[in-house]
Amino acid sequence: MPKLCVNIDHVATLRQARGGVEPEPLWAAMLAEKAGAHGIIAHLREDRRHMQDEDMRILSKVVQGRFNMEMAAVEEMVEIAMELKPTVCTLVPERRQELTTEGGLEVKGNFEAVRNITQTLIAAGIEVSLFIDPEPEQLRAAHLTGAQTVEFHTGTYANAAAAGQAKHLTALQDSARLASKLGIKVAAGHGLTLRNLEPLLQIEEIEEYSIGHSIVARALFVGFETAVKEMLELINRPRISKAALAAPPSYRF
């Protein structure tokens, strides 16, 4: 079954709205793990709009499962990562004006810089994941950096109207297949919700989902543990595998 890692940035966004101490991202991390999440993700942005350095320090000590530090590919963040030693660093593009991460990392066009940072982090024992659009050129460049994982940006799929989702799903499926052939682990995330996740679950190569906003939003009404459990239930729901679907009808039940 794929893993669920919960991005808790927006717990910090709510706290920063008042500049106080609540809600505390640490509680969200603990409740998410109690509910069965396999890991916690936090993005330390250069403008510190949600997570603060102290949050990252605490989370890096307390998270029991995979702690994934999302970060821009810049020296300042590399230094912090080298000190905190998260399980994973996910390299993402970052623009100050954006509301959220708006696209995948341009790996091909910044190859040397991304490869150097990737290799520095790997040498420190940190797994590296590159957040990219599901495009073969970016994927092949990501592979050449030595990164162990790619996280496919699902935002375009998630934001497309229902009628337009099929072509994005195909691009994700094709890229996931290629990643698997290249020996890279596949994760996926951005904009995923209880409504749009199900079709993606048919892509067997996706080993991990990174979901934040929709879980934090739903947690306001049902509580954090329940919101995480609902997502896990959907991910773990038994599915007819593609192999079973391809089998002659007499083997189906």
- Please give the Cα distance from 41 to 59 (Å, whole number): 9
- Please give the Cα distance from 235 to 215 (Å, whole number): 14
Question: Is residue 131 involved in binding ligand PXP (CB under 6 A)?
Answer: yes
Question: Is residue 212 involved in binding ligand PXP (CB under 6 A)?
Answer: yes
Of 192, 227, 232, 235, which lies in the binding site for ligand PXP, with binding defined by CB under 6 A? Answer: 192
- Going by C-alpha positions, the residue among 182, 96, 79 that lies closest to residue 132 is 182
Question: Is residue 92 involved in binding ligand PXP (CB under 6 A)?
Answer: yes
Question: Is residue 205 involved in binding ligand PXP (CB under 6 A)?
Answer: no
Of 66, 213, 229, 239, which lies in the binding site for ligand PXP, with binding defined by CB under 6 A? Answer: 213
Other beta carbons within 10 Å of 56? 22
Question: Is residue 177 involved in binding ligand PXP (CB under 6 A)?
Answer: no
Q: Are the beta carbons of 6 and 228 closer than 8 angstroms?
A: yes
Of 25, 39, 134, 191, which lies in the binding site for ligand PXP, with binding defined by CB under 6 A? Answer: 191
- Please give the Cα distance from 100 to 193 (Å, whole number): 16
Of residues 6 and 30, the one with the C-beta less far from ligand PXP: 6
Q: 193-207 burial string, b = 16+ CB within 10 Å, else e? A: eeebbeebbebbbbe
Of the candidate spans 139-147, 169-177, 211-219, 232-240, the one that interacts with ligand PXP by CB under 6 A turns out to be: 211-219
Question: Is residue 115 involved in binding ligand PXP (CB under 6 A)?
Answer: no
Q: Which residues of this chain interact with ligand PXP, rule CB under 6 A?
A: 7, 9, 43, 70, 90, 92, 100-101, 131, 151, 189-192, 210-214
